[in-house]
Amino acid sequence: MSNEQQVRIYNPSEEMVKNAAVSGMDGYRALCKEAEDDYEGFWGRRAKELLDWKEPFTQVLDESNAPFFKWFADGKLNVSYNCLDRNVNNGLGDKVALIFEADNGDVTKVTYKDLLARVSKFANALRGMGVKKGDRVVIYLPMSIEGVVAMQACARVGATHSIVFGGFSAQALRDRIEDAGAVALITSDGQHRGGKALPLKPIADEALSLGGCDTIKNVVVVKRTGGDCNIVAGRDVWFHDACEGQSEVCEPEWVEAEHPLFILYTSGSTGKPKGVQHSSGGYLLQAVLSMKYSFDIKLDDIFWCTADIGWVTGHTFISYGPLACGATEIVFEGVPTYPDAGRFWKMIQDHKVTIFYTAPTAIRSLIKAADNNPAVHPTKYDLSSLRLLGSVGEPINPAAWQWYYDNVGGGRCPIVDTFWQTETGAHVITPMPGATPMVPGSCTLPFPGIQAAVVDETGTEVPWGQGGILVIKRPWPSMIRTIWGDPERFKKSYYPEDFKGKLYLAGDGAIRDVETGYFTITGRIDDVLNVSGHRMGTMEIESALVAHEKVAEAAVVGRPDDVTGEAIVAFVVLKGPRPTGDEAAAVIKELQNWVGHEIGPIAKPKDIRFGENLPKTRSGKIMRRLLRQLAKGEDVTQDTSTLENPHILEQLKG
């Protein structure tokens, strides 16, 4: 945040302070102190209180083989039991667990009792196929009830699932199946998105035909779109046929707390995706704790996380966290812009959503849509049910934060800007909605028990106000356990020698506010630019650009420069049409001056290019490495298989 930007502070309402799980800053500080004074006791007490154990643990943390930490290692539990059976046993059987809204608007409600029955039937079907504890099962499904059922059923029989996002290609699916050595694949005939039926099974078939997938013995196919579907005799079975006649009772497989619940592939700094391996006990504990502390979940809440189950956010905040809390949640099949860009707001209105959790990229695109079409502006809908908003996935620029706060939250709802990663499993830096005064653009303070810090290249903590590298000093229960099949890469990536193997390296830069100690994430470390010896977060420049009235979205990267070390290149999407010629030249000048005014002349982008959109992965992340190649004037050589909108590369060539 530049000094020139006015910092506004938003205090939680009195009502929030009074009723929230973490009440007031005193409440927050007391939790932090409890963890500081007795780290293992802090986590151990919560693990006992918040999870049901088949066999209690006697040791909280085992650091003997660091950085391969173990939590609650001699305890046994089952994640699906904790998400389903215990809610049914506690009188929540008839409570709605899932409200599924299909792409076409059809709504299906599933109670806890019903969900337990569905999961048990499919778990029995999996057992019948020979799937057992420790086997890997790849799930390649759209957003669906069956997607959640499949994950829970794997957990129930002790199989380790690995979800591959439904937008990934056959090659990407094949690579993940091979790396995981999966015995079964669960997919669907197709998926509905934006009014279209898209095939999925043909992609799965292609993946399996590419070689390296011999470990797959069974393919289960959910019927979603109907129509022709290739079913290979002896290998493929319809999901409904597999469940037919199965018992609604299925004894859970009691597993050790460290048993791998899932592997989730995520991009690293190299081309090959990393299979991030998570545990059962520690992971579930922090999924629950994030629901309780960051989202202040209560039994009468209607919780909606818009992420896909193919990403970690969908794991922790759709498939596991809300269910383990006995919450009612929305599962949405479609896209935010169909039938129009008011879809999210209409769904909040229809289902009386109380907690809404989405990504800055979605907010920015809906700002643009609302500017162009007042009919889909959030203020046109009744959003009075909302009491809390969340943001995740990337830093939220203050302008988008403010719009979200004013227009979606009606100036009433706190925004929890939750910083975390696939590797952290759950929130690590985030406001507590009934405690932390919020500052737009800052994820504020560490989750109680998380010892986050900002350090220099040698691992020494830097003073507040000075940018550096974000690390976590002590292991935490929901952390990554290893990279599947590659423990050396795990150590190198996350516990590097530079820090003597003692600090978890998040891969992001951060700066703490001089007065409050609040964290602001400055972007991935490889996104920090050095222009004439000045360190600058690309996010800071993007934020300034987006604050300009004409700009809808911006991404900034560095390009090597003979004089200044690096030069700033900005890729910009305007709210109006994409300008060309003289008009473009005029807007470029205007934006350069604007950034110069907002941050300082040093931050002025040297080169500004306009596109109708930015290159994004299907999960909505801007592909910065690709932008860097474009900025340098190079041909794009990197893999673009995860790119949602390849045609805009041409526009951004410059």
> Is 74 annotated in some ligand binding site?
no
Q: Does 328 bind ligand 6R9 (CB under 6 A)?
A: no
Q: Using CB atoms, what's the residue nearest to ligand 6R9?
A: 422
Residue closer to ligand 6R9, measured from CB, 202 or 507: 507
Cα end-to-end distance, the chain, whole Å: 29
The answer to whether 146 contacts ligand 6R9 (rule: CB under 6 A) is no
Going by C-alpha positions, the residue among 640, 560, 653, 556 that lies closest to residue 598 is: 556
Place of tokens 């099974």: 201
> What's the angle, vertex CA 28, arms to CA 22 and CA 434, rounded to 5?
40
Using CB under 6 A, which of the segments 138-146, 385-393, 607-615, 634-642 binds ligand 6R9? Answer: 385-393
Q: Which of 5, 13, 215, 266 binds ligand 6R9 (CB under 6 A)?
A: 266
Nearer of residues 218 and 430 to ligand 6R9, judged by Cβ:
430
- CB of 92 or CB of 307, closer to ligand 6R9: 307
The residues in 173-192 that bind ligand 6R9, with binding defined as CB under 6 A, are none
Q: Are 541 and 548 in contact (CB under 8 A)?
A: no
Residue 312 makes contact with ligand 6R9 by CB under 6 A: yes
Considering only the C-alpha atoms of the chain, give the largest distance between any 2 of them, rounded to a whole number of Å: 73
CB of 451 to ligand 6R9, least distance (A): 17
The token pair at 367 is 């700002």
What secondary structure, in 3-state letters, does 576-602 show?
A: CCCCCHHHHHHHHHHHHHHHHHHCCHH
Q: Is 268 in the site for ligand 6R9 (CB under 6 A)?
A: no
HSE-CB for 282 with a 13 A CA cutoff: 29
State the nearest-atom distance from the C-beta of 70 to ligand 6R9, in Å. Answer: 23
**Sign of the alpha-carbon torsion through 206, 207, 208, 212:** positive
List the x/- string, 427-446, binding to ligand 6R9 by CB under 6 A: ----------------x---
Q: Side chain identity at 178, as an amino acid letter?
A: E
Q: Smallest gap, in angstroms, from Cβ of residue 356 to ligand 6R9?
A: 15
**Contact 168/206 with Cβ under 8 angstroms?**
no
Burial of 602 (0-12, 13-18, 19+ CB in 10 A): middle
Tokens for 356? 């809404």
Does 394 contact ligand 6R9 by CB under 6 A?
yes
Q: What binding mask, one character per residue, do residues 484-523 give for ligand 6R9 by CB under 6 A, x or -? A: ----------------------xxx------------x--
- Sign of the CA dihedral with 193 first, then 197, 198, and 201 last: positive
422 contributes a contact to ligand 6R9 by CB under 6 A: yes
Report which of 237, 175, 228 is spatially closest to residue 206, judged by C-alpha positions: 175
Nearest to ligand 6R9 of 208, 429 (CB atom): 429
Helices (H), 213-299: 239-243, 281-293
Which position among 278, 524, 616, 628 is part of the footprint of ligand 6R9 (CB under 6 A)?
524
Nearer to ligand 6R9, 120 or 277 (CB): 277
Min separation Cβ 494 and ligand 6R9, Å: 12
What is the size of the binding site for ligand 6R9 (CB under 6 A)? Answer: 21
Q: Does 421 bind ligand 6R9 (CB under 6 A)?
A: yes
CA atoms of 165 and 115, how far apart (whole Å): 23
Give the binding site for ligand 6R9 (CB under 6 A). 266, 311-313, 391-395, 417-422, 443, 506-508, 521, 524
Known binding positions for ATP? 393-395, 417-422, 508, 524, 535
